[in-house]
Amino acid sequence: MSTWTVARHEYITNVRRKEFILITLTLPLIILLAGGVSVLGTVAAATSLSQSGPTRVGLYDPGHVLLPKERGRRRERTEIIQFVQAEAGQTAVRDGKVLALIVLGADYIETGRTAVYYRKQTLLGLGGAAPVRDILLAGLLERGGLDPKLAKRAADPTGGGATVYTLNREGRFAVQDAAQSAAGFAVPYTFTILLITAIFFSASYLLRGISDEKENRVIEVILSSVPPEKLLLGKLVGLAGVGLTQVLVWALLGGLPAVMLFSKVVHISAATLLGSFLFFLLGFALFATAMAGLGALGATYRESQQIAGIVSIGAFIPMVLMPVLIEIPNGALARVLSAIPFTAPTVMVLRLAAAPVAWWEVAGSAAIIAVSTWVVFRVSVKLFRFGLLAYGKRPGFAETLRYLRDA
C-alpha cells in the first residue's frame, strides 16, 4: 500500500462525512446572510436619515437664558421646540413628537444643571442622541452677543466633520473611508478564521479516523502492509486535500460573492492570496502533524482531542492579540510571533491581509515553519508508531519520553 493510496482513502472518506458537507455548504451562506442583513440595515438606516426632516428637540428654559420665546427655532438639521411647561415636553417625548427634551435648571448659568429626557434607551446606549451640547453651546454664545453665524460655527467647528486622509497600501494619502476601514479589519480577520477553521476541522477528522482504527483494531492490519511513516504522511496529504476542498468551496460560495458585492472597498492582491495559500499549507502541515502524533497517544477519540488540544493554543494566541496585530502589522510583536512556529501561520496570514510585508520576512517565517514541521514530523512518527500499538490505556508521560529516547 502506497502513500497515495492512503491519501486517496482519507480524502474520499472524509469528504463524504455528513458533518463535512453540512459545515462546508452552510457556513459561508450563514456568514453572507448575517453580513447582508447588517449591510442592508446600515444602508436603510443611512437612507432614512438622509431623507428625514430636521430632528425635533424640545427645550424647557423657564429663565429664557438661551433662546427667545418664539417656537420653531432651527439650527441646521435640528428644530428646537420650546415648551412653557416641563410636563408638556415630557408628553411630547412620550408621544414621539420630539426626539428628546432638554430641561434647564433655574440656576443654569451658575451651575449648568441640565436634564435630558429620551423615550427609550437601548443596550448600546441612546440611539439617535440629540445634539445637546451643540444646542446649548450655540445658545450661550448667542446670549453673549456673538453673531449667530459665528455661534453656529463655534458649535460645529469642522462643519459636520473634517475630511481625514490616511496613507493607503501604496504609500499615498487618500480620503479615509469608513467602509474601507471596516474592510481593513474584516479581510485579515476572515482570512485568519478560515485558516484556523479549515486546519482544525480537518485535524479533527484525522484524530477521529485514527481513534476509530485503533478501537476497531484495524490499525494492526494496516501497519502490516504500510510503514508508520507512509501511513502518517498519507493521512496528512489526504486531510490537506480535504482542507483545501473546504476552503475552495468557501471561496466560491462566500468569498467570490463578497468580493463582487464589496469590490469598491475590498482589495485583495494576488500576492496576498498566494501568501495565504502558502501559509495555509505550512500551517496545516505543522498543526496536523503535531496533533496526529499527540492524538495517537489517546485511547479514545475524546482523549485524543484533549491531548492534541494543547497544540491549538498557538493558533489562538494571535486571535487574542488581533486588534494590535491589525493596527501594527509590521511591529515588533508581529515580527516576534512570525518567528515562533506555532503562531507564525496565523500571524502571517493576518499580516499579509492587513498590510504589505517584506519578502524576506515572508521567506524567513515560511522557512521556520517548514523546518519545524520536518522536526515535528520525525517526532510524531515515533509517537504515532508508539500510540497506535498502545491499547486499553493512555501511555504515561514518563513512558512516552522513555520510548522517544530509546527509539
pLDDT tens-place string over residues 241-258 = 887 888 788 777 766 666
Residue among 289, 208, 253 at smallest CA distance from 13 = 208
* Residue 83 β-bridge partners: 60
3-state secondary structure of 84: coil
Region of residue 168 (phi > 0: left; psi between -120 and 50: alpha; otherwise: beta) = beta
What amino acid occupies position 378? R
Indicate the pLDDT class of residue 91, thresholds 50, 70 and 90.
Answer: very high
pLDDT beyond 50 at 339 = yes
On the question of pLDDT at 278 being above 70, the answer is: yes
Report, as an integer, the average pLDDT of 336-350: 89
pLDDT per residue over 191-234, tens digit each? 677 777 777 777 777 777 777 777 777 766 777 778 878 887 88
Our CA dihedral for 124, 125, 126, 130, rounded to 10 degrees, sits at: -110
Strand partners, 114: 104
Percent with pLDDT over 70 in the chain: 67
Highest mean pLDDT: which of 115-129, 183-197, 325-339? 325-339
**pLDDT at position 367 over 90:** yes
Q: What pLDDT does 64 receive? A: 76
pLDDT for position 122: 47
Residue 166 — φ and ψ, nearest 5°?
Answer: -135, 160
Q: The C-alpha cell of 176 is what?
A: 479615509
Residue with cell 408621544: 95
Q: What residue spans of 264-358 are helical by DSSP H?
A: 270-295, 301-320, 322-327, 332-338, 344-354
Instruction: Choose the weakest-confidence range: 62-76, 161-175, 275-289, 303-317.
Output: 62-76
Average the pLDDT over each of 44-58, 85-99, 363-377 and give the range with the smallest value.
44-58
Query: Is residue 366 pLDDT above 90, yes or no?
Result: yes
d(CA 33, CA 253): 12
Element housing 383 (H / E) = helix 359-388
CA 376 to chain centre: 29
Does 310 have pLDDT greater than 70?
yes
User: Residue 407's pLDDT is what?
Assistant: 59
More confident residue, 225 or 103: 103
Question: What confidence category does residue 183 fall into, taking pLDDT thresholds of 50, 70 and 90?
Answer: low
